[in-house]
Amino acid sequence: MGEQQSALFPTYARFPITMVKGEGSRLWDDQGNEYLDFMAGLAVTGLGHAPKRVKERLVAQLDELWHTSNLFSTPQAEKVAQLLTANSCGDAVFFCNSGADANEAAIKLARRYNQKVLGNDRYEIITFKQSFHGRTLATLTATGQDKVKEGYLPLPQGFIHAPYNDVAALESYITDKTCAIMLELVQAEGGIIVADPDFVQEITRLCEKYNLLLIIDEVQTGLCRTGKLFAYQHYGIEPDIFTLAKALGSGFPVGAMVGKSKLIPAFTPGSHATTFGGTPIAMSAALATLEVMLADHLADEAARKGKLLVDKLEKALAGNAFVKEIRGTGLIIGIECVEPTADAIAAIHAKRLLVVPAGPMVIRLLPSLIVTDEEIDKAVEIIAGVLAEKEAERKQTAAK
Ligand SMILES: *Cc1c(COP(=O)(O)O)cnc(C)c1O
C-alpha cells in the first residue's frame, strides 16, 4: 500500500499482509510469498480458493444473466432451494446476502409467525452468552458479547442471554413473551465451544413444552464444516429455522434462511425482501458449491480430516504447558492456550501458515474441506514448532 493513506474506515485490525492470489489451500501475498491457508476466509472458501467447478458455472452465468430483481423467478434460485430443502429438515428458503442478513430474516420470521400466524404477542428470543450472530442492530443485540454493542445504544428489545451449556438454568430464562431459542451448535467466534448433547436435548424439550421456535445459526458450522452437511444433524434434532452464509457461495456473498413448512404462511408477499437476495450469479455460485459438496462427500471428508488433524495436534502438543485444550468437531478446531495467543498467531503467520483467533486465548483452525493429509502434516509441524517456542518462553519467564 506504500505511503498512501487508506481511504477505508478502520473497522478491522488487519494482519500486515496484502493477498493477491489464491488456489486450493494456498494464498499468495503481493510480495510473492506463499501461504498455507488454514482459515479459509473465515470458513468461506470451503472448496478452496477459486474452485474450478464453481468458476465454470459462474463464468457461464456471466454470459447469460446477472440480475433481474426478485419480481421475476429464476431457475437458479429454485434449484438451490430444492437442493437445500431436499438435503435438510427445512421446507422453504429465503435468500439474502450475508450471515447477519440470514439471522435478521430468522428473527423477523420468528416474531411474525407468533404475531401473525399464532396470533400472540410473544417476541423475546433467548440467545446465549459468548454467541455471535452478526452486526446489524438486531443480530448484534442477539450476540452474547458486549464488545460488539459498545456505542450503539439504544439496542432493539427482545433478546435475553442465557449461559451456554447450562442445562439447569435454561428454563428460568423463559417468560410469557419468549417466542424462540437461537444458538450456534459450535460457538465459533466465542472460542470453539461445542454444545453438549444433553443441553441440546433440554433446548428441544423446552421448545416443545412452551411452543418455542428453535433457530440454529449454521452460518459458520453449516455446509460440511463440522463433518455433517449441517451441524444440527449431529444431534438428531430438527430446527424450525436454520441460517447459512459463509461457505454457501465459495466466496461469492450469499446467505440463506431455511424454515419448516408451518412457517411459510408467516412470510406473505411484501413482508420481507432484499434486492440482491438470490440473484442468478449468487445462485450459480451456491448451486455449484452445493453440488460439489454433495458429489464429493465433503462432509465425510471433513469428519475424517478433522479427526486426523486433532489426533496429530494432540500428539504434537502433548505435554506442552502453553496449551490448555484442543477441541472442535470436523474441521472447526480450537487450540485453547493458557495465555493470549496474538503473538503465537503472528509467529505462525510468519511461518506462512494462516490461522485466526477465536477470542483472546484460542487459535482457530478452519482449513478448506479439500485440505490434503500432507497439508495437515505441514500445518501441525508449524503450529507445534511455534507453540514449543511459546512454552520455552513461558518457562524462562517463570524461572526469573
Ligand atoms: C460470521 C457469522 C455471522 C455473520 O455473518 P456475516 O456474513 O458476517 O454477516 C453470524 N453468525 C455466525 C455464527 C457467524 O460465524
- DSSP code string of 295-331: HTTHHHHHHHHHHHHHHHHHHHHTT-TTEEEEEEETT
Is 362 strand, coil or helix? strand
Percentage of residues of the chain with pLDDT beyond 90: 96
pLDDT digits (tens, 9 = 90+) for 310-356: 999 999 999 999 999 999 999 999 999 999 999 999 999 999 999 99
Is 76 strand, coil or helix? helix
Q: β-strands 159-162, 193-194: how paired?
A: unpaired
Domain containing 330 — which CATH number? 3.90.1150.10
Tell me the Ramachandran region of residue 215: left when phi exceeds 0, alpha when psi lies from -120 to 50, beta otherwise.
beta
Kindly give the number of the ligand 1 atom that is closest to the alpha carbon of 97: 7
Q: β-strands 26-29, 332-337: how paired?
A: unpaired
pTM across the whole model: 0.97
The amino acid at residue 64 is E
The best mutation among 103, 131, 140, 246 to test binding of ligand 1, ranked by most ligand atoms within 8 Å of the C-beta, falls on: 246
Sign of the alpha-carbon dihedral angle for 261, 267, 272, 276:
positive
For residue 230, the CA-to-ligand 1 centroid distance in Å is 15
Mean pLDDT of 106-111: 98
User: Number of structural domains, the chain?
Assistant: 2
Q: Are residues 26 and 170 in the same domain?
A: no
> By alpha-carbon position, which residue is closest to atom 10 of ligand 1?
133
For residue 195, the CA-to-ligand 1 centroid distance in Å is 18
| 15, three cell numbers | 494482519
pLDDT at 36 over 90: yes
pLDDT digits (tens, 9 = 90+) for 187-236: 999 999 999 999 999 999 999 999 999 999 999 999 999 999 999 999 99
Q: Are residues 175 and 82 in the same domain?
A: yes
pLDDT at 1 over 60: no
| Containing structural domain, residue 370 | 19-50+297-399
Q: Are residues 85 and 154 in the same domain?
A: yes
Q: Are residues 370 and 382 in the same domain?
A: yes
The best mutation among 12, 133, 187 to test binding of ligand 1, ranked by most ligand atoms within 8 Å of the C-beta, falls on: 133
